[in-house]
Chains A and B, each alone.
Chain A
Amino acid sequence: MPLITYREALRHAMAEELTRDENVVILGEEVGQFHGAYKVTEGLLEKFGPKRIVDTPISEAGFIGLGVGASMLGVRPVMELMFWSFYSVAFDQILNNAANIRYMSGGQINCPIVIRGPANGGTNVGATHSHTPENILAHHPGVKVVVPSTPYDAKGLLKSAIRDNDPVFVLENTILYGLEGEVPAEEYLVPLGHADVKRAGTDLTIVTYGRPVIQSLAAAQQLQQQHNLSVEIVDLRTIRPLDIDTVLASVRKTHRVLIVEEQRPFCGVGAQLAYMIQNEAFDELDAPIQRLGTVDAPAIYSPPAEIEQLPNSQRILKAALATMGS
């Protein structure tokens, strides 16, 4: 299988869907002529032309709302937010409109819109540019929230998102854009709402998603070598719908759980997971569920301090050992 980057995988997904369905359009700030702030859409303007790849002004509420309206009439917009941090400017359109319309219209109207772009911290861009809003988005019924951790998943999930008939929010991780991985040359889809066991194990389940999947894999390898611990890693891939069954199956196998998220813990995805696990598999647990997240403060700019703020594989290793009681 060819090795491509996460960024290229996303680009290929869009290119394939643009080719397959003429209703698919890409809209966003700097997606065309500038090739995308993170170069995810590089080359698409040249290939598909300015009717399909559209540069918008800086007006998130306006253009996201426009995308929602267009999707009601059957256009399938893939909207790039230059940073997911800017979701807040368009929040009214995202939640009051995109997420509600199918329900409010008694099921008469669908919004096949995808909103995608980089999220997360770790690039020293401070508090206004490092948001990870998956919990805030996933709080709302009616939407799908996708967080790919590998190039393979990124491509397959984005293609599914584009074909989905309702709003899907794809949160990419800025730091993963350069990550290489194997992606088949032939077409494939990764369905939304299916977690993936990225590593099988018997002693401890790490439930995670996004960049911490990669960090957890590194930690798991060390735990195996240095502590003879067999760690299973469940990658949620989709926050909503949440594939709790795959998580529970793993818990029933390992009986211990560590939840790792590159997110502040308060009201986070991990809180929901911990509740669901204890609710449905309390008897299976041999130890309290543990969580590891981002230090609960707005993203700090200072580069060394931001490293301290975020999870990393050493911290995951430490947390895993603590969850094991050692």
Chain B
Amino acid sequence: MSKKSTDKTAAAAKKTTSAAKTGGANAAPAAAPKPAASGPNPSHSSPVNTALSADEKVELYRKLVRIRRFEERSLRAYQAKKIGGFLHLYIGQEAVAVGCCSLMGKDDHVITAYRDHGHAIAVGMDTKALMAELYGKVTGCSKGKGGSMHYFDPARNFWGGHGIVGGQVPLGAGLAYALKYKGLKGAAMAFMGDGAVNQGAVHEAYNLASLWSLPVVFVIENNGYSMGTSQARSSAGELATRAAGYDMKWEIIDGHDLYDVRAKMEPLLRRAREESKPALVEIMTYRYRGHSVADPDKTYRSKTEIEDYQRTKDPINLFRAILQSEGALTDELIEKIDTEARSEADFAADFAEASPFPTPEDIQKDVYWEADNPSQRTSGGRLFFN
């Protein structure tokens, strides 16, 4: 238990050295993430960022803030016992989802794990439906059936919200396969945590994607911990460079810096779309809260470690500072965005509160065959329920 706070630093240091090595013929010249403070960051002058209008920049900032306020509000609802089950908060990681999803064209697709609130808001889902899902209401984005871990919105090319660690990653390859098979445009992004990389299914997906040249970018959101286990205690070797074994391009990205995320993701996503080639990115990020709200977060990392991140690397603060220096954000606007985000979250909670729960009859709706075949008898034995 002595390793707590050093694990992550050790892993990061290790990464820097080996990232500096070339990673095989096809590997990208991956640069170690640069601390945001040290001099001009080339990502900031990347065309994908300089092409943004002031309004677009403000929109990106607004999304970061909306995610955070939504989650803070949901945490209060959880504490008031309005929400059941697990609540895995994304606070601290917002720039990853917002940065990646901001690059989505209408033909691009996203799939992620159970820490899905940020991605859902980033793809444009309605926070009322998201909050209602947490409350288990029929007005929720999965009609109260899925809960926090299982948000879905196919209309926005958002394919979930998945509860089995790593299980969504082959599905992401499958989305890409479908695009290619049907001759459609676009690419898929498959998000996973740093703990998911050790699941066999993830490696099988890497292999298939590379073998069949699928238009997918695998995104590891490396927040340093899988539940209570630091990366150093759970993963041998590097996470991003594992791609080299599959002859797949890889990149390491500073996930605290939204511009870095956009600058480094964009070419890979474009390459996936245009050349149908997969890639793997590892985005360095951090979560401020416990693994889930139920996690007391005391046995595996120190309070100072969290506070250090909040102070020096908070993605919202960093992006705000950048936009202020660019003149895109004024104090009034910052204030306004924050107030609006808070009231949006409150409004979502009010909406959720006022919505009805699913009825007992709803339990069996949406079951594949049974739902469409009311005369079926396969569920016989469920007597005495009414």
What is the interface of chain A, defined by CB distance below 8 A to chain B?
A: 29-30, 33-35, 37, 55, 57-62, 85-86, 88-89, 123-129, 264-266, 268, 270-271, 290-298, 300-306, 308-309, 315, 318-319, 322
B145 at the interface (CB under 8 A from A): yes
- Is there contact, CB below 8 Å, between B362 and A293? no
Shortest Cβ distance from residue A71 to the other chain B in the assembled complex, whole angstroms: 20
Partner of A302, one of B145, B167, B229: B145
Residues of chain B with a CB closer than 8 A to A303's CB: 84-85, 136
What is the interface of chain B, defined by CB distance below 8 A to chain A?
A: 1, 84-86, 133, 136-137, 142, 144-147, 149-150, 162-167, 195-196, 198-201, 226-229, 233-235, 299-300, 357-360, 362-364, 366-367, 370, 378-385
- Is there contact, CB below 8 Å, between B147 and A301? yes
- Besides A124-B136, A265-B382, 17 new A-B residue pairs in contact (Cβ under 8 A), listed by A number: A57-B234, A58-B196, A58-B199, A59-B198, A62-B200, A89-B164, A125-B163, A128-B149, A128-B162, A129-B149, A265-B379, A266-B379, A290-B383, A295-B360, A305-B358, A308-B363, A309-B363
- Is there contact, CB below 8 Å, between A301 and B381? no
Residues of chain B with a CB closer than 8 A to A298's CB: 145, 367
- Is there contact, CB below 8 Å, between B199 and A89? yes
- Is there contact, CB below 8 Å, between A127 and B300? no
Residues of chain A with a CB closer than 8 A to B362's CB: 300, 305
- Is there contact, CB below 8 Å, between A62 and B198? yes
- Is there contact, CB below 8 Å, between B358 and A300? yes
- Is there contact, CB below 8 Å, between B84 and A124? yes
- Is there contact, CB below 8 Å, between B358 and A34? no
Of all chain B residues, the one with the shortest Cβ separation from A259 is: B381
The listed residue with most A CB atoms (<10 A of its CB), out of B201, B234, B235, is B234
Shortest Cβ distance from residue A94 to the other chain B in the assembled complex, whole angstroms: 14
The complex places the Cα of A47 from the Cα of B357 at a distance, in Å, of: 47
Of all chain A residues, the one with the shortest Cβ separation from B195 is: A58
Sample (21) of A-B pairs whose CB atoms are under 8 Å apart = A30-B228, A55-B233, A88-B164, A128-B149, A128-B162, A264-B379, A268-B381, A295-B360, A296-B364, A296-B378, A296-B382, A297-B363, A297-B364, A300-B358, A300-B363, A301-B133, A301-B142, A301-B147, A303-B85, A304-B357, A305-B144
The complex places the Cα of A318 from the Cα of B386 at a distance, in Å, of: 10
Residues of chain A with a CB closer than 8 A to B227's CB: 29-30, 34, 37
The complex places the Cα of A37 from the Cα of B165 at a distance, in Å, of: 15
- Is there contact, CB below 8 Å, between B229 and A55? yes
Residues of chain A with a CB closer than 8 A to B1's CB: 33
Partner of B383, one of A37, A129, A309, A322: A322
Q: Majority SS of interface residues in chain A?
A: loop
- Is there contact, CB below 8 Å, between B363 and A305? yes
- Is there contact, CB below 8 Å, between B137 and A302? yes
- Is there contact, CB below 8 Å, between A123 and B85? yes
The listed residue with most B CB atoms (<10 A of its CB), out of A35, A59, A127, A290, is A59
The complex places the Cα of A307 from the Cα of B274 at a distance, in Å, of: 49
Shortest Cβ distance from residue B236 to the other chain A in the assembled complex, whole angstroms: 9
- Is there contact, CB below 8 Å, between B200 and A305? no
The complex places the Cα of A291 from the Cα of B384 at a distance, in Å, of: 9
The complex places the Cα of A268 from the Cα of B382 at a distance, in Å, of: 12
- Is there contact, CB below 8 Å, between A302 and B300? no
Shortest Cβ distance from residue B368 to the other chain A in the assembled complex, whole angstroms: 10
Partner of A35, one of B299, B378, B381, B382: B299
- Is there contact, CB below 8 Å, between A292 and B383? yes
- Is there contact, CB below 8 Å, between B165 and A305? no
Partner of B199, one of A37, A59, A128, A266: A59
Residues of chain A with a CB closer than 8 A to B381's CB: 265-266, 268, 270-271, 291-293, 296
Residues of chain A with a CB closer than 8 A to B233's CB: 33, 55
The complex places the Cα of A309 from the Cα of B227 at a distance, in Å, of: 30
- Is there contact, CB below 8 Å, between A58 and B226? yes
If A30-B227, A300-B145, A305-B360 touch, whether A125 touches B200 (CB-CB below 8 Å) is no
Shortest Cβ distance from residue A204 to the other chain B in the assembled complex, whole angstroms: 14
Shortest Cβ distance from residue B365 to the other chain A in the assembled complex, whole angstroms: 8
The complex places the Cα of A306 from the Cα of B86 at a distance, in Å, of: 15
Of all chain B residues, the one with the shortest Cβ separation from A266 is: B378
The complex places the Cα of A228 from the Cα of B12 at a distance, in Å, of: 69
- Is there contact, CB below 8 Å, between A301 and B84? yes
The listed residue with most A CB atoms (<10 A of its CB), out of B133, B147, B200, B234, is B147
The complex places the Cα of A298 from the Cα of B163 at a distance, in Å, of: 13
Residues of chain A with a CB closer than 8 A to B150's CB: 126-128, 301
The complex places the Cα of A296 from the Cα of B142 at a distance, in Å, of: 18
Residues of chain A with a CB closer than 8 A to B364's CB: 295-297
The complex places the Cα of A29 from the Cα of B300 at a distance, in Å, of: 14
Of all chain A residues, the one with the shortest Cβ separation from B236 is: A57
The complex places the Cα of A292 from the Cα of B379 at a distance, in Å, of: 11
